[in-house]
Structure 1
Amino acid sequence: MRVTEKGQVTIPKPIRDRLGIEPGSEVEFVERNSVVVLQKRPTDIGESPASFDEWAESVADTFDTKGMDGMEFIDWLRGPRDDIDSR
């Protein structure tokens, strides 16, 4: 597949059909471990991936936890709490 001077590529019809991409659809490119993945961006609030596994795959490697595990990252996001951290 060749990229045009404007940076455009043509998404093959079988892929457009499988992903439900039509004219006007929003798509996004997500980098995962040095690989770029094309995915359809949900356009309606009610539109969601078909399964939890599909959703998990779609958001994998999309943010940096700065090397923290899940609980450490949540604590970092919340920040200090006066009601429990003042001891």
Structure 2
Amino acid sequence: MTAVVAERGQVTIPKVLRDRLGIKPATVLAFSVKNGVLTAVKVVPEDPVAAVTGCLKTDRDSDEWMDELRGEP
């Protein structure tokens, strides 16, 4: 498949490829060049919860935290 670069440097990704790869408006693509070959890779956003899970290490469990928040001894 081919595509033509527009005057402003834009390229339309063929619909068959957009559909196959799940590329929709606002999808982020990462571009790289190696040995003269341009590659575009769909960036899968990281789960925001997974990104921070375990970042705050503590010796207390959730019950102890809840007791403190409730003002219980």
Superposition TM-score, scaled by structure 1 size: 0.46
Q: Could you say what the CA RMSD is over the residues aligned between the two structures, in angstroms?
A: 1.2
Q: Which has the higher contact order (CA 8 A, sep 6+)?
A: 1
- Within 1, Cα distance between the matches of 2:17 and 2:10? 16
- Within 1, Cα distance between the matches of 2:33 and 2:44? 18
Q: 1:10 aligns with which of 6, 9, 12?
A: 12
Question: What is residue 36 of structure 1 aligned with on the other side?
Answer: 38
Give the secondary structure class of the aligned counterpart of 2:41: strand
Superposition TM-score, scaled by structure 2 size: 0.54
2:40 corresponds to which letter in structure 1? Answer: L
Question: What is residue 66 of structure 1 aligned with on the other side?
Answer: none
Alignment of 1:70-85 (within 5 A): none
Structure 2, unpaired ranges of 5+: 48-73
Structure 1, unpaired ranges of 5+: 47-87
Give the secondary structure class of the aligned counterpart of 1:15: helix
Question: What is residue 26 of structure 2 aligned with on the other side?
Answer: 24
Question: What is residue 54 of structure 2 aligned with on the other side?
Answer: none
Structure 1 stretches of at least 4 aligned residues deviating more than 6 Å after TM superposition: none
- Within 2, Cα distance between the matches of 1:32 and 1:5? 24
1:17 corresponds to which letter in structure 2? Answer: D
Give the % identical residues. 44
